[in-house]
Amino acid sequence: MAQGITTGEYWEDRVAFETEGAGQEHVEYDDVLEFNTFDGLPYSSRYYTLLKERMALPVWKAKCDFMDKLANKQFVIVSGTAKTGRSCQIPQWCAEFCLSVQYQNGMVVCTQDHRQHTVDLALRVADEMDVNIGHEVGYSIPLETCCSSDTVLRYCTSDMLLREMMSDPMLEHYGVIVIDQAHERTVTTHPGPKLLGHYRNVPLIQLEGVCSAEAVYTGTSHKDYFCSALRLVLEIHHSQEEGDIVVFLATTQEIDLARDILHREEVNTSPHLGELLPISVHPGLGGTLPMPSEEDGRCRRVFLTSSPNEDLFWAVHKLNFVIDAGVQKRNVYNPRIRANSVAIQPISRSQAESRKQLVGTTGKSFCLYPEDTPLPSETRPHILESDITSTVLFLKRMDIGGLGRCDFIDRPDPEGLMQALEELDYLAALDDDGNLSEIGIIMSEFPLEPQMAKTLLASCEFDCVSEVTTIAAMLAAPSCYLVPSMELRLEASQCHLKFQHPEGDHFTLINIYKAFKQNQQEPFVSVEKWCQDYFLSLSALQTADAIRSELTDILRRIELPVSMPSFGSKGNIINIKRALLAGFFMQVARDVDSSGNYFMLTHKHVAQIHPLSAYGTKTPKLGLPEWVLFHEYTFSEDNCIRTVSHISPEEFIQMAPQYFFFNLPPSESKDILQNILDKGAEHYKAKKIKKSPSLDSIPEVTASCVIQ
């Protein structure tokens, strides 16, 4: 306790010094040379400039209170809206606290939900602390780490910290762990009784919020918000009022369409109004927000986004207008049909307030919904709407048993929990006692969904590791297909057809990746131009390449065999399908009427192949495959299966676990499979092979299937 009191007194002295120094001109520091306690070098003049800006943030008023609670309590909850400075300042203060106790308990880690926001924050904080990025301040995101042994403050995405827990369950390397944007994971920006009650008597620091702009409610119905938003953008631009605009829409399709429309409108706009620059900001994708340069002149940026994270725009200083549709797209997972359904839902009240605060008191906020719209008080937690199979696999790896009694803040639906356990059991990831099997332990090593991890393991048995690793990487990365403007979509489709493989989309992805790598190695070929010519995303392909390298490194680290590439041979094609079925046997469908209506075996729903699929462009007369394996099914308006490849029923019977097959609901498709199974059994009886009829008695089943 004495050490804690000393720490608190230290911080009061430190804050007092900074407060006094920040209000003076830089010239007064000519005779006072202060050294940075993190790297031992003198502070630059920029440090004091940024310090003055930092001290104007609402969070700064709470510094003494926060430091005192940090020194004397194990948990502290800090609540504040966008632009209060909490994401930048709180981790810095934690690093200063750890330094004051000589890092006795370790360094500081701050988790974020969004990759790009993680990088942006680390760069900003390194600048404010007057240190080099990658040294005292660093970051870790999937496929990219910028840290060193000198790092005392590390920003990282949540999944990176979770993977770290597999080798360090108690995170003993860290003295302070900051969970930023906690409201996106559990409850709203302002912590409700649920969060406070869960931690029991944890001190709460409520930051003073930034005053909101006065909202203008347009009374637009939810069906008309898209056109209303674009009209408002053009009206603002024609009014010549200064400032950038952020438009919150609901879906990525709306973002791309709005960008195309505004690009066309900008061509017809009078030059004296200045340039109108629409910028797509897709949630979950990389890429920094373009910042204006001196050469931009009169350039008005229009940020089009559907991201729930308003803090993405913390660095946009010229933001003066917010246009909020008031709705968001939510993917709600249904464990009964193992599929997501897309729902357009109202945003929460706290989200609406955070969006208004982005422009402060001087800007304008347009709400495209009636003022009396009943917005929900809280955003529904993602754990209640998501497939939690990967989460359960992680918890099992952490030896957290008794999931039914686990202390969740928001307990997952029992049906979803049972479905996750059942799926892991089908994948042979669990033993008879419900603990992780050897296969399950290896699956948890890969940053992939469990089905794809099982597929990758099976590829080691079937000598097709190179090809399956490519498929896994391409599916884990963002889509490599660019969606151009409407007038170029036919040309884009023709370009994509050049990569099409007759066996299906999984094999087409291999063709695309191979072509990308081949052009990358050509000395006189611009890969960027090649991607543009074929309407492919360079960043997505580069991400897939990095993921593939990471997966290969993991395979070698755990000493699994990595076979040489042999794509194109008949045997290799069959082996790839076997490996895919080893993981995705739960995602098989049959064309029941030869017209493209695919019946899914596990839940008896009927869907069509997505138009972007290689099969999606075919008519039934050209011949669609009867049996297919698919990667994704979304139960929504389009009701489509995506990333589809042809399989045979015999291949399915060979690879599907016996008890999974027998648990399938009755259907004509199951009867067809049963007949094939029975004929295989009779064939073996005729040869007097004394085996009871089972899935293991089908021809071509060998010991290589032991991976199941």
The CA distance from 508 to 162, in Å, is 33
| Residue 706: predicted pLDDT | 34
* Mean pLDDT (whole number) for 282-308: 66
Confidence of residue 490 (pLDDT cuts 50, 70, 90): confident
The CA distance from 193 to 63, in Å, is 24
C-alpha of 624 from chain center? 33
Nearest to 610 by CA among 585, 584, 632: 632
The per-residue pLDDT of the chain, averaged, comes to 82
The CA distance from 269 to 597, in Å, is 47
Which tens digits make up the pLDDT trace of 248-272? 998 888 998 899 899 888 888 888 8
Element (H, E) at 278: strand 275-281
User: Which residue's structure tokens are 């009061």?
Assistant: 12
Confidence of residue 14 (pLDDT cuts 50, 70, 90): very low
Higher pLDDT, 538 or 298: 538
| Residue 691: predicted pLDDT | 43
The CA distance from 493 to 483, in Å, is 10
| Residue 384 token pair | 């209640």
Whole-number CA gyration radius for the chain: 28
| Residue 195: predicted pLDDT | 64
C-alpha of 60 from chain center? 31
Confidence of residue 293 (pLDDT cuts 50, 70, 90): very low
- Whole-number Cα distances in Å, 51 to 23, 307, 382, 512: 10, 30, 37, 49
Confidence of residue 240 (pLDDT cuts 50, 70, 90): confident
pLDDT over 80 (residue 118): yes
Q: What angle do CA 645, 649, 654 make, to 5 degrees?
A: 105
Confidence of residue 700 (pLDDT cuts 50, 70, 90): very low
Which tens digits make up the pLDDT trace of 674-695? 999 888 766 655 554 444 444 3
Confidence of residue 193 (pLDDT cuts 50, 70, 90): low
Confidence of residue 344 (pLDDT cuts 50, 70, 90): confident
The listed range with the strongest mean pLDDT (8-17, 295-304, 363-372) is 363-372
pLDDT over 70 (residue 530): yes
Higher pLDDT, 685 or 509: 509
Which tens digits make up the pLDDT trace of 450-460? 999 999 999 99
Which tens digits make up the pLDDT trace of 122-148? 999 999 999 999 999 999 988 788 999
Confidence of residue 617 (pLDDT cuts 50, 70, 90): low
Which tens digits make up the pLDDT trace of 408-452? 777 888 888 899 999 999 999 999 988 899 999 999 999 899 999
pLDDT over 80 (residue 701): no
Cβ(212)–Cβ(361) under 8 Å? yes
pLDDT over 90 (residue 313): no
Instruction: Name the pTM for this structure.
Output: 0.80
| Residue 528: predicted pLDDT | 93
pLDDT over 70 (residue 471): yes
The listed range with the strongest mean pLDDT (25-29, 203-207, 653-657) is 653-657
Which tens digits make up the pLDDT trace of 356-393? 888 877 789 999 998 888 888 777 777 888 888 998 99
pLDDT over 60 (residue 24): no
The CA distance from 378 to 295, in Å, is 43
| Residue 291: predicted pLDDT | 53
| Residue 196: predicted pLDDT | 64
pLDDT over 60 (residue 658): yes
Instruction: Compute how many other C-beta atoms are within 10 angstroms of the C-beta atom of residue 638.
Output: 12
| Residue 620: predicted pLDDT | 52
pLDDT over 50 (residue 598): yes
pLDDT over 80 (residue 213): no
C-alpha of 471 from chain center? 19
Contacts of 644 (CB under 8 A, 6+ apart): 504, 505, 609, 610, 613, 614, 615, 628, 629, 630, 631
Higher pLDDT, 708 or 463: 463
